[in-house]
A and B are shown apart, each in its own frame.
Chain A
Amino acid sequence: MPTIELNGHTYAVDEDGFLEDPMLWNEQVAADLATTEGIANMTEDQWKLVNYLRHYYLEFGIAPMVRKLCKENGFKLNQVYEMFPSGPAKGACKVAGLPKPTGCV
């Protein structure tokens, strides 16, 4: 299983760089993972999305619908892409420590 070292911390991740165990997440992990998405310092808006995702994940075991994520946080989809260039499912979810959604997405 691959590991990745970020800012001196070592994480077990899958081949896509997603956290192997989503429960081992905290804000430090998020900040570290964000660097792999080219984000040096998380903005307030980015934290807002990540925390929302995290909260939803703990309740439902999965990321919310992309539409819901955008709407309930007051962002347009392209704004989410500006914040997380790999997109909501692949970028934001990774930083929030969620598993990568698979299927026809």
Chain B
Amino acid sequence: MPTVLLIAVPYVAAVLFLGGLAWRVWTWAATPEPFRIPTTTGQQRSLAGIAPSRVESPSTTAGVVGRMLLEGLLFRSLFRNVASGPTAAGTCPDPVFLERKALWLGAMAFHWSLLVIVVRHLGLFVEPIPRVASFVASVDGFFQVGSPSWYATDVIVIVALGYLLFRRVRDPLLRYLTLPADYLALAVLIAVVGSGVVLRYVARTDLIAVRQYTLGLAALAPTAPASPGAGFVLHLLSVSVLLAILPFTKMVHAAGMWLSPTRNQANDGRRRRHVNPWNAPAPFHTYEEWEDEFREKLQAAGLPIEREDGRFQNPQAGGGERGAPPAAQAPLT
């Protein structure tokens, strides 16, 4: 691989990653939230004698923060995954996933392992090695199995990715709805993890040289390593591809989930007025138009009316925004 690529590829990927992510988040953030539409998964705050569910149906900002942290850190909603009905009685179909908490476990295992691995890698980009990176690495390598000793997360992430791929292939419904792009995301992740594992445990690379190179990248003064080796090039390439496509694929959920209105809005729709920036005028059928049509019937039924004698002069007077009276329709009997 030409030296210039070793320098150009990671920078292009970084630019696409940061630029793409910023663009996506900006696009979402710039799009108005016209209505207050939280999905309420707990009791609202209403009567004094009824305990509100502060996190599942948050009425305060603190509650919302709690709800989002539970979602982001512990995948609260995924954890809800339940059977479709009272299967014990054999009365309700239970068609799809035998896995109930397995998906949650797989997702947690994958995402948290990935986070730990990223933190471990911080040492490659920061001088001196950040304490958090060495601490995480020491905890991760606690079991000291094998030589070099295996990181627990390296094992977990492989198993988790394998499971996520396996369930897509095994379950007929999931296989049916999976897109090529979904397999692409898994393939890239497997390439990243696989090449990294090979690099550490099989075809070991010169870590000193690699760190010199990555520190250079981070300091914007890059020098390519003299003989990087195929394993390292593969790892670098796959990581670059992952970063480059992340903002443009479903993997962007990592950023998007924090903006989800059904989760990050407080359930205070009646307590505080939510303002819609584009609240479009909607003309409606006014009381005056209505009384004009039904006056005789109202009078005959002895119901109170505004104008005992004749029509409203100006049908718009009541504040309705309709331009013209409704199109002619067959008279009501």
Residues of A within 8 A of B (CB): 22-23, 57-58, 61
In B7-51, the 8 Å CB interface with A consists of: none
In B315-332, the 8 Å CB interface with A consists of: 332
Residues of B contacting A23 with CB < 8 Å? Answer: 333
Nearest residue (CB) in A for B333 is: A61
CB distance from B12 to the nearest CB of A (A): 58
Residues of B contacting A57 with CB < 8 Å? Answer: 333
Residues of A contacting B332 with CB < 8 Å? Answer: 61
Residues of B contacting A61 with CB < 8 Å? Answer: 332-333
Would you list 6 pairs from A and B whose C-beta atoms are within 8 A, ordered by A residue?
A: A22-B333, A23-B333, A57-B333, A58-B333, A61-B332, A61-B333
3 closest A-B pairs by beta carbon, nearest first, are A61-B333, A61-B332, A58-B333
Residues of B contacting A58 with CB < 8 Å? Answer: 333
Nearest residue (CB) in A for B330 is: A21
CB distance from B298 to the nearest CB of A (A): 13
Count of residues in B whose CB is under 8 Å from the partner chain: 2
Nearest residue (CB) in B for A21 is: B330
Residues of A contacting B333 with CB < 8 Å? Answer: 22-23, 57-58, 61
CB distance from A46 to the nearest CB of B (A): 23
Nearest residue (CB) in A for B301 is: A60
Nearest residue (CB) in B for A58 is: B333
CA distance A23 to B333 in the complex (A): 9
CA distance A22 to B330 in the complex (A): 12
Name the residue in A22, A58, A61 with the highest tally of chain B Cβ atoms < 10 Å from its Cβ. A61
CB distance from A95 to the nearest CB of B (A): 18
CA distance A61 to B330 in the complex (A): 12
Residues of B contacting A22 with CB < 8 Å? Answer: 333
Nearest residue (CB) in A for B332 is: A61
CB distance from A93 to the nearest CB of B (A): 14
CB distance from B333 to the nearest CB of A (A): 4
CA distance A22 to B331 in the complex (A): 12
CB distance from B302 to the nearest CB of A (A): 15
CB distance from A30 to the nearest CB of B (A): 18
CB distance from A28 to the nearest CB of B (A): 21
In B287-333, the 8 Å CB interface with A consists of: 332-333
CB distance from B171 to the nearest CB of A (A): 38
CB distance from A94 to the nearest CB of B (A): 17
Nearest residue (CB) in B for A61 is: B333
CA distance A57 to B332 in the complex (A): 11
In B161-199, the 8 Å CB interface with A consists of: none
Nearest residue (CB) in B for A59 is: B333
CB distance from A64 to the nearest CB of B (A): 14
CB distance from A100 to the nearest CB of B (A): 16
CA distance A57 to B333 in the complex (A): 8
CB distance from B311 to the nearest CB of A (A): 21
CA distance A22 to B332 in the complex (A): 11
CA distance A58 to B332 in the complex (A): 10
CB distance from A50 to the nearest CB of B (A): 17
Nearest residue (CB) in B for A57 is: B333
CB distance from A22 to the nearest CB of B (A): 8
CB distance from A21 to the nearest CB of B (A): 9
